[in-house]
Amino acid sequence: MKIEHIAIWTHNLEELKDYYCRYFGGSSNSKYINEKKQFQSYFIRFASGTRLELMSRADIIDQPKSSSDPMHTGYTHFAFGVETMEEVDNKARELAAEGFPILSGPRVTGDGYYEFETLDPDGNRLEVATVYVKQ
């Protein structure tokens, strides 16, 4: 069994689509529009086969997010896996240069990863990680 897709509600559909395609190598389908429900979405596919569904409707209520305190039940982050520590470092530098916050790291975690945490344009927390290899 595998995770087929993860879905995110957003009021910034185009911006999130562009972010995940540009910075994480995703490819998008054509926008799906359901006029009756006033619903729009994109599926972003990544090389691993995992997909991210970005969904938008005018009546969706914003949920408060705290970038400084992710300690709560429910979704807290998802992670992109890369092959090397250098890729983690490069992605952190790229996102920081583009003005995206680096919340922590890059760092070695206690459970054997080398990672950093950031936020997408909507404030959703994500990580970029690889298995730590002592050098």
Mean pLDDT calculated for residue range 74-89: 91
Domain spans, the chain? 5-57, 78-131
Mention the CATH class of domain 5-57.
alpha beta
61: helix, strand or coil: coil
C-alpha–C-alpha distance, residues 131 and 85, integer Å:
8
Beta bridge partners of 108: 114
- CATH fold of 78-131, please? 2,3-Dihydroxybiphenyl 1,2-Dioxygenase; domain 1 (3.10.180)
Q: Residues, the chain, total?
A: 135
In this structure, of 80-94, 95-109, 120-134, the range with the lowest mean pLDDT score is 120-134
The pair of structure tokens assigned to 90 is 């490069």
Examine domains 5-57 and 78-131 and report if their fold is the same. Answer: yes
Look at residue 9 and tell me whether its pLDDT is greater than 70. yes
pLDDT digits (tens, 9 = 90+) for 21-48: 999 999 999 999 999 999 999 999 999 9
